Amino acid sequence: MAMPGFQIVRYVKDIISKDQLQPAGVDLTVSEIFELKSRGYLGVNRREISDVREVPKRNGKWYLGKGVYKVLINEKIHVPENAIGICFPRSSLLRMGVDVRCALWDPGYY
């Protein structure tokens, strides 16, 4: 069963604005953006994390070119033991060509 935004908000800390509350969820906000500068590797016994470069704000905004980015959020997510968390991009991001990849948040994630 999916929860409406007014129920989900109990499990999201550090919300910046009440406007983030939506009928079917909570909008998350960006705290930092990093551009991935190299390939990563995830093997059975070895992993290499991609090199990143922080993208600075200009005039209070991020200007992003074509590329791959790691985006950190301001909010802290707490998933109850009897639920899972799912992240979907807003359709407005999709219309601008942004492809958001999110992992599933396991029961009890905090």
Same domain, 82 and 108: yes
Could you give the C-alpha distances from 86 to 67, 72, 81, 106, in angstroms and in order? 24, 16, 14, 9
pLDDT score of 57 more than 90 = yes
Task: Assess whether 51 and 85 both reside in one domain.
Answer: no
Domain that holds residue 39: 30-73
For residue 24 the two structure tokens come to 């079917």
Are 93 and 103 in a shared domain?
A: yes
Residues 17 and 42 in one domain: no
Identify whether residues 12 and 45 lie together within a single domain: no
What pTM does this model have? 0.86
- Are residues 101 and 80 located together in one domain of the fold? yes
* Structure token pair of residue 56: 């600075």
Whether pLDDT at 1 is above 80: no
Q: Are residues 18 and 40 in the same domain?
A: no
Look at the chain and report how many structural domains it folds into: 2
49 shares its domain with 66: yes
pLDDT of 42: 94
Q: What is the pLDDT of residues 2-32, one digit of tens each?
A: 888 999 999 999 999 999 999 989 999 999 9
Residues 67 and 83 in one domain: no
What are residue 53's DSSP bridge partners? Answer: 35
Are 18 and 52 contained in the same domain? no
Provide the token pair at 16: 């910046």
Q: For all residues of the chain together, what is the average pLDDT? A: 94
User: pLDDT (tens digit, 9 = 90+) per residue, 68-90?
Assistant: 999 999 999 999 999 999 999 98
Do 65 and 78 belong to one domain?
no
Q: 53 and 65, same structural domain? A: yes
Q: Name the pLDDT band for 59 (thresholds 50, 70, 90).
A: very high
